[in-house]
Structure 1
Amino acid sequence: MSSSRGSDQTSLRFGVELELVLRSKHETHDSFASIASELHQHLRNAGISNHIGDIAQKAHTSPKYDDWTIIQDSTLPSKPDKNLFGIELVSPIFHFPHMSLWLPNLHSLWHVLTTHFSVHPTPECSTHIHLSPSPSPSSHSSSNNAADKPTWTLPSTKSLAKSTIHFERALDALVPGHRRTNPYCMSNRRNAAYATLSQSQIFADIDAAKTLEELGERMCSCSRESVHAKNLMMMGDEGEEGEGFEHPHFKWNFTRLIEGTKTVEFRLPPASRGVRDTVAWVVFTVMFAQWAVERGGVVLEADAKGGKVGELGELKRVVVNGARGSGVAREVVGWVEGLFEGVRALPAVRVDLKGVGEGEVDKEAGRMGMEVGRWRELFGYE
Structure 2
Amino acid sequence: MLVSALHQQRPCDYTHKLHASLSTKMADQNSFQFGVEIELLMGSRKKTHSNWKSLAKDLSKRLLKAGISNHINESNDKSQDNYREWSITQEITIPSQPAKSLFGLELVSPIYSIYASWATDLETIFTVLHGSFTLHPSPHCSTHVHISGTPHPLSPSELAALAKSALYYEPALDALVPSARRGAAYWCQSNRSNPSLTGLDLATCLDALDTAGGGSVRHVVEAMNLFPANSAYGHAHGRQRDFVRGKVYKWDFTGMMSSGRGTVEFRQAPGCVCAEDAVGWATLAVAFVVGAMAVGPQLGGVGVGEGASAEELWALLAGGAEVLGWESLGAAEGLFGRVG
Q: TM-score, length-normalised on structure 2?
A: 0.86
**Consecutive unaligned residues in structure 2, runs of 5 or more:** 1-17
Partners of 2:73 and 2:89 within 8 A in 1: yes
Partners of 2:73 and 2:82 within 8 A in 1: no
**Consecutive unaligned residues in structure 1, runs of 5 or more:** 136-149, 345-382
Q: 2:30, 2:194 → 1: CA distance?
A: 28
1:181-232 alpha-carbon deviations (Å, 9 max, x no partner): 11111111222210122223222322222211221111011123545435xx
Q: From the superposition, tell whether residues 174 and 261 of structure 1 become closer, same or farther in structure 2 (CA, over 3 Å).
A: same
Q: Is residue 65 of structure 1 aligned with residue 95 of structure 2?
A: no
| Structure ranking higher on relative contact order (CA contacts 8 Å, 6+ apart) | 2
1:23-76 alpha-carbon deviations (Å, 9 max, x no partner): 101211101111111011001111111000034413xx4445110110001111
Q: 1:340, 1:228 → 2: CA distance?
A: 36
Q: 1:6, 1:311 → 2: CA distance?
A: 29
Partners of 1:15 and 1:129 within 8 A in 2: yes
Partner residue in 2 for 1:197: 200
2:118 counterpart letter in structure 1: W
Q: 1:153, 1:211 → 2: CA distance?
A: 8
Partner residue in 1 for 2:57: 37
Q: Is residue 339 of structure 1 aligned with residue 335 of structure 2?
A: yes
Residue 137 of structure 2, aligned match among 96, 101, 121: 121
1:133-172 alpha-carbon deviations (Å, 9 max, x no partner): 133xxxxxxxxxxxxxx32211211110110011112111
Partners of 2:196 and 2:222 within 8 A in 1: no
Partners of 1:169 and 1:310 within 8 A in 2: yes
1:249-288 alpha-carbon deviations (Å, 9 max, x no partner): 2100001102232100000000011110011111111111
Q: Is residue 208 of structure 1 aligned with residue 175 of structure 2?
A: no
> For 2:87, what is the secondary structure of its paired residue?
strand
Displacement of 1:324 after TM fit? 5.1
Partner residue in 2 for 1:293: 293
Q: What is the aligned length?
A: 313
Aligned residues with identical type, % of pairs: 37
Q: 1:54, 1:227 → 2: CA distance?
A: 29
Q: 1:67, 1:228 → 2: CA distance?
A: 34
Partners of 1:106 and 1:275 within 8 A in 2: yes
Aligned positions of 1:75-154 closer than 5 A: 75-98=93-116, 101-135=117-151, 150-154=152-156
Q: 1:158, 1:75 → 2: CA distance?
A: 30
Q: 2:45, 2:72 → 1: CA distance?
A: 20
How large is the Cα RMSD of the aligned pairs? 2.0
Q: 2:181, 2:30 → 1: CA distance?
A: 28
Aligned positions of 1:292-311 closer than 5 A: 292-298=292-298, 300-301=299-300, 304-308=301-305, 309-311=307-309
Q: TM-score, length-normalised on structure 1?
A: 0.77
Q: From the superposition, tell whether residues 279 and 51 of structure 1 become closer, same or farther in structure 2 (CA, over 3 Å).
A: same
Residue 163 of structure 2, aligned match among 161, 164, 171: 161
Which deviates more from structure 2 when the two are superposed, residues 87-96 or residues 256-265? 256-265
